[in-house]
Amino acid sequence: MAIGKRAAAELLGTFWLVFGGCGSAVLAAAFPDVGIGLLGVALAFGLTVLTMAYAIGHVSGCHLNPAVSVGLLVARRFPASDLPAYVGAQVIGGVLGAATLYVIASGAPGFDVSAGFASNGYAEHSPGQYSMMAALVAEVVLTAFFLFVILGSTDARAPKGFAPIAIGLCLTLIHLIGIPVTNLSVNPARSTGPAVFVGGWALAQLWLFWVAPIVGAAIAGVVYPAVAGDEGHK
């Protein structure tokens, strides 16, 4: 399929991930009396990926994440020539998703974007006040295992049709682990969208949420073929 159509699918899919996942955190997590809490936000992120994997997986592969694209590239599942278009589309989709969420959220009295707007952070901007090193290790490890699950569930030898379920549940699981540490990123595009609107500290700390997920994804891209063999991409 033409790269333009695949990039458009990635843009729409990443929009949905940021709008749905971050939207659940901003609009619904602490809504009076019926807030969905940490568990609900984690599930929302998982559902965005699960639903989009079935919607556009056959179009673009449903990466929705620059780190996923890099990890698949390292594992020789994705061509380097397509990486700029995918990453560009993912970042644009993430910013558009955050922009739409901003328009909606700012319609409520008392809205304050400086409160965080679902941005990722460390130290004083970590939900649990975790250090930069703790955040770095968490993002690397959780992204690596996320990519390991993606590579395994989409392996040609894996059961067919179940990959979106495994990937969506894995994303839910790692959010349950990582939200207290960094608000969980494992996705540079997801981090960039809200950070653009928060500015200041969110942009200053954004480097970690690009570097750590990409490093973690690259590690998985090396480890999975070493463990499982490289026949799965053939």
The per-residue pLDDT for range 107-166, each reduced to its tens digit, is 999 899 988 899 999 999 999 999 999 999 999 999 999 999 999 999 999 999 999 999
Q: Residue 229 has what pLDDT?
A: 85
- pLDDT of 231 reads 64
Write down all domains in the chain, each with its CATH number in brackets: 3-229 (1.20.1080.10)
| pLDDT (mean) for 73-93 | 97
| pTM for this entry | 0.94
Categorize the per-residue pLDDT at 32 as very low, low, confident or very high, splitting at 50, 70 and 90.
low
Q: What stretches of the chain show up as alpha helix (H) in DSSP?
A: 3-17, 23, 37-60, 66-74, 83-105, 132-153, 163-182, 188-198, 200-204, 208-228
Confidence (pLDDT) at 39: 92
234 pLDDT more than 70: no
